[in-house]
Structure 1
Amino acid sequence: MGMTPAISPDTREEVRISEQAATPWQTVVWNDPVNLMSYVVHVFRTYFGYSKQESTRLMLAVHHDGHAVVAQGAREQMELHAQAMHDYGLWATVRRAE
């Protein structure tokens, strides 16, 4: 009969933090009444390097659905993307991936 080693509270906390860090985050761009659709396509092409087709698809999702996930990854990187979108005049937020 094998014994299961006890896991210290510190180890459990480290595992929890590690699992949180591994959870993907998303940068979400939201629709607004200010920016032209062509400008949003331009921003996605310029900043993310997306193709014209992908940029247009994302812009249309923003326009018709009210928002679109434009990037997914580590929280820190998604926060940088959201700040960049703000710098371009777009409304963006960061959330945990669904």
Structure 2
Amino acid sequence: MMADTRLRPDRASELAAQQERPWQAVVWDDPVNLMSYVSFVFRRHFGITRERADELMMRVHTAGSAVVAEGGREAMELHVEAMHGYGLWATVRQEGDA
């Protein structure tokens, strides 16, 4: 007896939709790093303007976290690894996941 390995149509569409959602690098607020340092890290690593870096840093500070990049999973994992190298708390998640 062979197992049926075909996906149900509803499950197949659910998996396809999940695979289409981009991945995100999320930086979390911490009690250690200065806000100016976090902004510096964003400018240096992502090559963004001071204004954009400060906006992201304030989101981290006030909301507790901020999405700092979106894209493929491997690229986001590299960004998170870089954030860890700078001493920031960061994780990877798929868009829409809390």
TM-score, normalization: structure 1? 0.80
SS of the aligned residue for 1:34 comes to coil
Match of 1:22 in 2: 20
SS of the aligned residue for 2:45 comes to helix
TM-superposed deviation, 1:21: 4.0
Q: How far apart in 1 are the matches of 2:15 and 2:46?
A: 29
Match of 1:9 in 2: 6
- Among candidates 64, 78, 81, match of residue 80 of structure 1: 78
The answer to whether the Cα contact below 8 Å between 1:22 and 1:74 also exists between their aligned partners in 2 is: no
Sequence identity percentage: 54
Q: How far apart in 2 are the matches of 1:28 and 1:16?
A: 24
Q: How does 1:24-39 map to 2 (within 5 A)?
A: 24-39=22-37
Match of 1:4 in 2: none
Q: How far apart in 1 are the matches of 2:93 and 2:51?
A: 25
Which blocks of at least 5 consecutive residues in structure 2 are unaligned?
A: none
RMSD across aligned positions (CA): 2.1
Match of 1:55 in 2: 53
Match of 2:88 in 1: 90
TM-score, normalization: structure 2? 0.80
The answer to whether the Cα contact below 8 Å between 1:44 and 1:50 also exists between their aligned partners in 2 is: yes
TM-superposed deviation, 1:59: 0.2
The answer to whether the Cα contact below 8 Å between 1:62 and 1:68 also exists between their aligned partners in 2 is: yes
Q: Deviations over 1:51-78 (max 9, x none)?
A: 0000000000000000000000101110
The count of aligned residue pairs is: 90
AA at the equivalent of 1:48: F
AA at the equivalent of 1:56: D
Q: Deviations over 1:35-60 (max 9, x none)?
A: 00000000000000010000000000
